[in-house]
């Protein structure tokens, strides 16, 4: 039995998300915080001065609903689900990310947790 992404890779500090540029068609890779539950990872498009959900990676996923994710030495295809406001899964994503990153962060991530835009990526081996 193959262990889940959560078990194998959940402690990794970053995921590397490659989307396809919605205008250029070129691959775009970013390093991003993530939290895993089973074979799904959760990402949070930061609050801050930009509107939630306005990051290029989110807009690219909306335009082309597939991506590639690399965590540790493993590569996956990813299908996004936009879960902002989706009740229990929205709260789970926010809480998992906060629990993973707040302990090692000098700043308070509470605002990010509450105002960011959560996206779920369901992963499959590439």
The 10s digit of each residue's pLDDT in 32-87 is 999 999 999 999 997 666 677 789 999 999 999 899 999 999 999 999 999 988 79
For 29-52, letters b (16+ CB in 10 Å) and e give eeebbbbbbebbbbbbbbbeeeeb
Using alpha carbons only, give the angle 15, 33, 13 rounded to the nearest 5 degrees.
Answer: 65
Q: What pLDDT does residue 2 have?
A: 83
For residue 50, the model assigns a pLDDT of 65
Q: What is the CA radius of gyration of the chain?
A: 14
User: What is the predicted pLDDT for the residue at 78?
Assistant: 98
pLDDT at 23: 93
Task: Name the pLDDT band for 95 (thresholds 50, 70, 90).
Answer: very high
What is the average per-residue pLDDT within 87-92? 96
- The average pLDDT across 111-121 equals 92
pLDDT at 59: 93
Q: How confident is the model at residue 124 (pLDDT cuts 50, 70, 90)?
A: very high
Which pLDDT belongs to residue 49?
60
Go through the domains of the chain in sequence order and give each one's CATH number: 5-125 (2.30.110.10)
- What is residue 47's predicted lDDT score, i.e. its pLDDT? 63
Distance CA 78, CA 70 (A): 10
Which residue shows structure tokens 């915080």?
A: 33
């Amino acid at each position: 039995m193959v262990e889940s992404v959560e078990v194998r890779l959940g402690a990794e500090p970053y995921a590397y998300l490659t989307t396809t540029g919605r205008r250029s068609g070129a691959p775009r890779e970013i390093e991003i915080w993530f939290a895993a539950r089973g074979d799904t990872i959760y990402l949070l498009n930061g609050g801050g001065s930009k509107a939630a959900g306005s990051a290029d990676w989110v807009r690219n996923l909306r335009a082309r609903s597939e991506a590639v994710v690399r965590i540790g030495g493993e590569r996956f295809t990813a299908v996004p689900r936009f879960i902002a406001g989706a009740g229990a899964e929205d709260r789970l994503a926010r809480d998992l990310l906060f629990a993973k990153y707040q302990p090692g962060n000098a700043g308070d991530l509470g605002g990010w947790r509450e105002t960011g835009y959560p996206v779920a990526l369901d992963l499959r081996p590439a």
